Amino acid sequence: MSVFDPATPFADFIYRHFRSVHALKLGLALLVAVTINAIWAPPHFIWSMVTIVVIMMSLPQVGGAIEKSLQRAIGTCLGSAYGVMLVATVDSYWLIMSLLILAVSLICFISAGRYSYAYLVSGFTIIIVVGDANHDTSEALWRTANILSGCVIAILVSLFIFPIKAKQDWRSQLTHAIDNMAEVLAQHLKAPANHDLDFRAKLEAAMKAVLTQKKLFFSLEWESKTLKKHKVLLSQLANKQVRLITLLELLPLTRWQEEDKDAYLQINAVASELAFYLQQLAEFVAGKAQQLPTLPECLEQELQHRLQLSLASATIVASTTDLDAAATDGEVPQGFALTGYSWLIYQLAIAVEALYEDIAIIEIAYNKQPASQITTAKAD
Residue-wise pLDDT tens digits, 284-338: 999 988 888 888 776 666 666 666 666 665 444 434 434 444 444 444 444 556 6
Is pLDDT at 265 greater than 70 in this prediction?
A: yes
C-alpha 357: how far from chain center: 18
- The amino acid occupying position 54 is V
33 has a pLDDT exceeding 70: yes
pLDDT band at 175 (very low <50, low <70, confident <90, very high): very high
CB 252 within 8 A of CB 97: no
Question: Using CA atoms, how far apart are residues 103 and 96, in angstroms rounded to an integer?
Answer: 11
Would residue 41 be called left, alpha or beta, if left means φ above 0 and alpha means ψ between -120 and 50 degrees?
A: left
Question: What is the pTM (predicted TM-score) of this model?
Answer: 0.80
Work out the average pLDDT over 79-96: 89
Evaluate if residue 7 carries a pLDDT over 60: yes
Which residues does residue 148 pair with via DSSP β-bridges, in sequence order? none
| CA dist., res. 153 & res. 78, Å (int) | 20
CA angle in degrees (0–180, nearest 5) for 361-215-31 = 115
What confidence score (pLDDT) does residue 27 get?
A: 96
Q: What is the mean pLDDT of the chain?
A: 83
d(CA 174, CA 169): 9
pLDDT band at residue 233, thresholds of 50, 70 and 90? very high
**4 with 171: CB under 8 angstroms?**
yes
Beta-ladder partners of 295: 378
Report the pLDDT averaged over residues 93-106: 93
Torsion of CA 38, 43, 45, 51, to 10 degrees: -160
> H or E element: which one contains 149?
helix 137-160
* Angle (deg, nearest 10), helices 231-250 and 334-366: 160
Concatenate the DSSP letters of all residues of 271-327 into one string: HHHHHHHHHHHHHHHTTSSSSPPPB-TTHHHHHHHHHHHHHHTS-----HHHHHHHH
Model pLDDT, residue 198: 83
Beta bridge partners of 378: 295
74 vs 271, residue with greater confidence: 74
Q: How confident is the model at residue 232 (pLDDT cuts 50, 70, 90)?
A: very high
309 vs 69: which has the higher pLDDT:
69
